[in-house]
Structure 1
Amino acid sequence: MIDPKDAAGQGESKTQIIGRRTFLRLAVSGAAVLAAPLLCGQGQAWGAKRQTPLPDAMAAPSGPNCSDGDPASYTAATAQRGGMFLLFSDVHFDPFADPAKVSALAAAPASAWRGILSDSTAAYSPYGQDSNDALFQSFLDDMARRAPRPDFLLYPGDLLCHDFWTTYPRLTGDATPEGLLTFIAKTAEYFLAEVTRRFPDAPLYLALGNNDSFEGDYRIAPKSPYLSATAPLVARLALKDQASRAPFLDSYPHDGCYAVPLPGPGGGRLVVFNNIFWTKRSGREAAGRRVLEFLDHELGQVKRRGEKVWLMSHVPPGDNSKASAAKYVKKGKDVFDPMLTEAWNDAQAGLIVKYAATIKASFAGHVHRDEFRLMRPRNGNLPVAAMRLGPSISPVTGNNPGYQVFSYDRESLELLDMTTHYLNIGAASPAWATEYQYSQTYGRGLRSATDWQEMYQGLVACPARGQAFAQGFDLRSAHINEVNGRTFRIFWDALSLSVDSL
């Protein structure tokens, strides 16, 4: 068995692909030119004072470098091979948003919740709060209007709102574990029913988020009541065939992990693993080892069969860029701080690099931002794996809500392109709109390692693309300005990881 301690890093130099000094050396040499609008911009990071440009940024940029890649990187070989799926994450659905309705919800079956909640006159959730029903219904309606027939939907976790476990007894007066579990199950059933009502023929695949728990935030245990309560709901409402339901029901109730066949001619599999056990706040070392064994076994089986695989979990490897940037603004210190424990962080990234030839795509959520991670073997010139991090629907951390529409090759299972749609909830009349299309904004697609690397380098070489990343990071929220002249290099550096293959 893989021991995550064997993969433990020794600090920032262990995990980050390009350190700060290397970044500056490349900038001064002209190989990486920071986007001029970012260097000159003033702005506020989340909870921070107004920032000045980076004091150590190069003073004389050599000019933009906005070259495009091959259109084949975002174009399917034939129309029949071109597929489409939806990714949305971190809804954090809040059934307590209207306290006056909570007693009625607690007394009613989940099938009656839509009627109870539909007569609410509440506006969309404001910044700093989780998703109320108005926001929930709005984004589902917009997805169904823009992409009514996806091949499937991916959801990288966090179905429940924050503080669910304390809010329920406070608003209902019911402090029993049975009452809490029943209300959790009804919340999950309502969530699943409303998603599948819009997309009755498309399977919905879900990962566990840190809030998806009976025990508390980050506290889910093996064989959790949450898993036993939600397993039949997911199997009945979200999964569309017995080939998926049987393996799901066999493994999900124990650790929240499962592997199912992806629909279509590609012959691929989706492996969903619960890496909440790997977070710093979990403290469940034994359960984490079981998940690592599951992931390594599934990837090994897929490789031996010559199949292709996609991965999905909640927490991505790498730096917690928001936290690192906030610390840098406050204290002037740039410290690598992964969201997983360092040993588990390196174990997850190491497995992805080890099986990179088999893994065609990876997805995560948790960060509530439009980000990505590139992973390469140490001393490698090109990344061998890329992970897309979905933005959140919940605006609890100041971002605008957003979801993504992906195109992909049904046979090779390679990603091609992506469009992000967002809702500016700070506007006088909020309306869903297209935030950006990846190929149009970055001049290339999602198919090849060369395109991944050129997009990454283009963020610092091409002012327009660096500005687009900064703007899209929080989906054009005017409430915050996290990626600015002072913090840009923190966020940019966090996008790429250099790891040892396990």
Structure 2
Amino acid sequence: PVKVPAGKWGAVYNCDIPHKTFDAAMKHIAQAHKDLDYIIITGDMESHDNWVYTREKTMDNIINITQVLINHFPTTPIYEAVGNHEGVPQDSMGPHNMEEYDTRGPTWLYNTLADQWSRWITPESVKGVQYRASYVEYPSPGLKLISLNSDYCAISNFYLYLNQTDPDDTLNWLISELLASEQKGEKVHIISHIPAGDNYCLKGWAHNFYEIVNRFENTIAAQFYGHTHQDHFQVYYENSNPAGRPTHFNFITPSLTSYSYNNPAYRIYTIDGGYEGASYTVLDAETYTTDLNEANAKDQEPQWFLEYSARDTFSLPDLSPSSWNSLIDRLAVDDDLFTKFHRYYWRSSYEENCVNEPQCRQHYVCCLRVAKSFDEDTFCAGM
């Protein structure tokens, strides 16, 4: 039954945004941010009517979304990662060693992505997308961007239960790319969909990925994820010891979709670059959002506004792993700061008196320490 009718521009409930809201958002971004060097999209182009997915519908959606992007950003490079909702059924992306790969495998999907992304990536990268939906690009001299297919860790990708050992040799491929960059003195950005600290990611993959990140902590300059739809982050630690040295962190960017109980959002990153020896670390992250209820009530296009700057709002000296780790400590004890974080987590759209509920607050703070799935006991001990 329909409990709350969706408005013209969507609704802040268990609802995805309509196509017109996506188009309006892209129009706004193109007009408001004319100096973008490139755009990152971390996957999930499908709505959440999971059990009515078809290959034809998914291919049409990918093509339609690509056309909207081309219309609004005709000259801006766009780098995308595949999301778990692109699978049909959802998550279904089997590796090449599965039986009946030619008929049950994701070749149809990977070829569609390769075709649509080919305007922004090299022919060599197109081959990578066709094989494992992962690829490498160079947005700037000295910066390698790796788009990693993390659906190979999705807990509901049932093909993985036949053999979970590094599907399609993807982590080995990642290691080889990181090692090559380390030897050349390059910096690397990883874009992917499912963060390894989310329990939607299989434990074996997450454990191995965590070790890879720590091994190449001086080469990986930043990581960007989606999937959760929320606004948060995850910190890595040396030897998986949360009392030890923080080594890295995941940016987990809030979603453009309103599913579930979120106002839409997007993020602008300012990155150190453009000169020889640049660190390519993120200097600031500015999150923009809109109020769907207001847009519906006024019958006007959503009005976007700067919600917050990470450095200014959280008083961070920089966006290093140690700064994010210190923020976690402050969130545990500073009521006003935690209330602010919680509000941004939901884009001001979800009422919950979490600050005064110890278990609720502990859950949010604990998750920020966990960049390895199913390991809360290790990273949240003593909280």
- Provide TM-score, normalisation by structure 2: 0.83
Is it true that 1:260 corresponds to 2:137 in the alignment?
yes
| Residue aligning to 1:394 | 257
Cross-structure match for 1:450: 322
Q: Using the alignment, how far apart are the partners of 1:218 and 1:485 within structure 2?
A: 37
Structure possessing the higher relative contact order (Cα contacts under 8 Å, 6 or more residues apart) = 1
CA shift for structure 1 position 226: 0.8
Judge conservation of contact 1:403–1:421 (CA < 8 Å) in 2: yes
Of residues 403, 406, 424 in structure 1, which corresponds to 2:291?
424
Q: Distance in 2 between the 1:460 and 1:286 partners? A: 38
Kindly state the Cα deviation for residue 164 of structure 1 after the two structures are TM-superposed: 5.8
Letter in 2 for 1:356: E
Bigger Cα displacement from structure 2, 132-141 vs 443-452: 443-452
> What amino acid sits opposite 1:278 in the alignment?
C
Aligned counterpart for 1:202 among listed residues 76, 79, 89? 76
* 1:474 to 2:346 alignment: yes
Change (3 A) 1:485 1:217: farther
Letter in 1 for 2:323: D
**Where do 1:336-355 residues align within 5 Å?**
338-355=199-216
- The partner residue of 1:303 within 167, 182, 196 is 182
Distance in 2 (CA, whole Å) between partners of 1:482 and 1:362 is: 31
Contact 2:187-2:280 at 8 Å conserved across structures: yes
CA deviations 1:399-429 (Å, max 9, x no partner) are 1111111111012201001111112223334
1:186 aligned counterpart, secondary structure: helix
Q: Which residue of 2 aligns with 1:313?
A: 192
**Cα–Cα, structure 1 residues 268 and 426, in superposed 2: closer, same or farther, change >3 Å?**
same
Of 150, 156, 159, which aligns to 1:275?
150
Quote the residue 2:380 is aligned against. Answer: none
The match for 2:91 among 210, 218, 227 is 218
* Aligned residue identity for 2:325: Q
Q: Is 1:364 aligned with 2:247?
A: no
Tell me: CA distance 1:383–1:482, structure 2 relative to 1, closer, same or farther (3 Å). farther
How far apart are 1:382 and its partner, in Å?
2.8
The residue number in structure 2 matching 1:407 is 270
**Do 1:149 and 1:199's aligned partners in 2 also have CA atoms closer than 8 Å?**
no
Cα offset, 1:274, TM superposition: 0.8
In structure 2, relative to structure 1, the CA distance for the partners of 1:459 and 1:359 (3 Å cut) is same
Kindly indicate whether the alpha-carbon contact (under 8 Å) linking 1:307 and 1:358 is maintained by their aligned counterparts in 2: yes
**Equivalent residue pairs, number:** 341
Structure 2 equivalent of residue 28 of structure 1? none
Q: Whose radius of gyration is greater, 1 or 2?
A: 1
In the TM superposition, what is the alpha-carbon distance from 1:451 to its structure 2 partner?
2.0
Which amino acid is the alignment partner of residue 176 of structure 2? H
Query: Is 1:232 the counterpart of 2:98 in the alignment?
Result: no
Distance 2:115 2:317 in 1: 38
SS in 2 for 1:403: strand
Structure 2 residue ranges without an equivalent (≥5)? 96-105, 376-383
The code of the aligned residue for 1:316 comes to P
1:246 pairs with 2:126: no
Cα–Cα, structure 1 residues 249 and 498, in superposed 2: closer, same or farther, change >3 Å?
Answer: closer
Which residue matches 1:495? 368
Report the CA distance shift for 1:446/1:192 in structure 2 as closer, same or farther (over 3 A): farther
CA distances 1:31-69 after superposition (whole Å, capped 9, x unpaired): xxxxxxxxxxxxxxxxxxxxxxxxxxxxxxxxxxxxxxx
User: What TM-score, normalized by structure 1, do the two folds share?
Assistant: 0.64
Task: Give 1:19's aligned residue.
Answer: none
1:184 aligns to 2:58 (yes or no): yes
Q: Is the 8 A contact 1:376 1:497 kept in 2?
A: no
Deviation at 1:484, TM superposition (A): 4.4
Contact 1:371 1:495 in 2 (8 A): yes
State the shift of 1:289 in Å: 5.5
Does the 8 Å CA contact 2:166/2:205 hold for their aligned counterparts?
Answer: no
Q: How does 1:18-37 map to 2 (within 5 A)?
A: none
CA gap 1:183/1:423 in 2 versus in 1, 3 angstroms: same
Change (3 A) 1:346 1:358: same
Q: Secondary structure at the match of 1:384?
A: strand
Q: Provide, for residues 190-219 of structure 1, a one-character-per-residue CA deviation record: whole Å limited to 9, x for no partner.
A: 211212322222211111111112x31111
Of 236, 240, 248, the residue aligned with 1:385 is 248
Q: How far apart in 1 are the matches of 2:181 and 2:26?
A: 34
Shift of 1:249: 1.1
- Work out whether 1:145 is the aligned partner of 2:31: yes
1:488 Cα shift?
Answer: 1.3
1:163 shift after superposition: 2.9
How far did 1:452 drift?
2.2
Q: Secondary structure at the match of 1:417?
A: strand
> What is the DSSP-based 3-state SS (H/G/I as helix, E as strand, rest coil) of the residue aligned with 1:218?
coil
Correspondences of 1:81-160 after superposition (within 5 Å): 123-126=8-11, 127-160=13-46
Q: CA deviation at 1:449?
A: 3.1
417 and 498 in structure 1: CA distance in 2 versus 1, 3 angstrom threshold: closer
